[in-house]
Amino acid sequence: MKAKFILAIFIAANFILVGWVIPTGQTFDSKNAIRGDAGTGWAGTYRGTLPCASCEGMQTELTLNKNKSYDLIIRYLGKKDATRAFTNKFAINKEGTIITLGGLKEEAQPTQYLIGDGNLTQLDMSGKKIEGDLAAKYVLIKGKPSVEEKYWKLIQLHGSEVTPEAGNRREPNLMLKAEGNRVTGSGGCNTFSGNYELNDENGIAFTKVIATQMECISMETEPKFLRILSIVNKYRISGDTLILSEGTNPPSVKLVAVYKK
Question: 142 or 29, which is more confident?
Answer: 142
Angle, vertex CA 145, rays to CA 126 and CA 235, nearest 5 = 150
Q: Are 167 and 257 in contact (CB under 8 A)?
A: no
Under the banding of pLDDT at 50, 70 and 90, the label for residue 20 is very low
Out of 3.90.1310.10, 2.40.128.640, 3.40.50.150, 3.40.50.11540, the CATH code matching 44-143 is 2.40.128.640
Q: Which of 78, 96, 114, 86 is nearest to 35 (CA)?
A: 96
Q: What is the pLDDT of residues 102-112, one digit of tens each?
A: 998 866 788 99
Q: Has residue 37 got a pLDDT over 80?
A: no
3-state class percentages of the chain: helix first, strand second, coil last, to nearest 5:
15, 40, 45
Q: CATH 2.40.128.640 in the chain: give the residue spans.
A: 44-143
d(CA 174, CA 191): 9
C-alpha 87, offset from chain centre: 9
CATH 2.40.128.270 residue ranges for the chain: 151-258
Report how far apart the first and last C-alpha atoms of the chain are (Å, whole number).
56
**pLDDT digits over 193-225, tens only?**
999 999 988 999 999 999 999 988 888 899 999
In this predicted structure, what is the pLDDT of residue 107? 60
Can you tell me the mean pLDDT for 166-182?
A: 90
Question: Distance (Å, rounded) from C-alpha 55 to C-alpha 175?
Answer: 28
Provide the pLDDT for residue 169.
76
Contacts of residue 159, Cβ cutoff 8 Å, sequence gap at least 6: 250, 251
In our burial notation (b when 16+ CB lie closer than 10 A, e otherwise), range 110-126 reads: bbbbbbbeebbbbbeee
13, pLDDT greater than 70 = no
Average per-residue pLDDT in the chain?
84
In the prediction, which pLDDT does 27 show?
A: 32
Question: In 3D, which of 85, 80, 75 has the Cα closest to residue 52?
Answer: 75
| pLDDT tops 60 at residue 4 | no
**Is this structure's pTM higher than 0.85?**
no
Higher pLDDT, 125 or 24: 125
Q: Is the pLDDT of residue 16 over 60?
A: no
Could you tell me how many helices (H) and strands (E) the chain has, helices first? 2, 17
Say what the pLDDT of residue 158 is: 92
- Residue 106: what pLDDT? 66
- What is the average per-residue pLDDT within 86-105? 93
CA separation (Å) from 109 to 11, 20, 106, 189, 214?
Answer: 50, 36, 6, 40, 43
Nearest C-alpha neighbor of 196 from the set 184, 206, 187: 206
CA distance 183 to 197: 10
Q: Running DSSP on this structure, what letter comes out for residue 129?
A: B
Q: Report whether 61 contacts 150 (CB < 8 A).
A: no
Per-residue pLDDT tens for 125-143?
A: 999 999 999 999 999 999 9
What is the model's pLDDT at position 21? 33
Average pLDDT on 44-51 reads 95
Q: Specify the CATH architecture of the domain 151-258.
A: Beta Barrel (2.40)
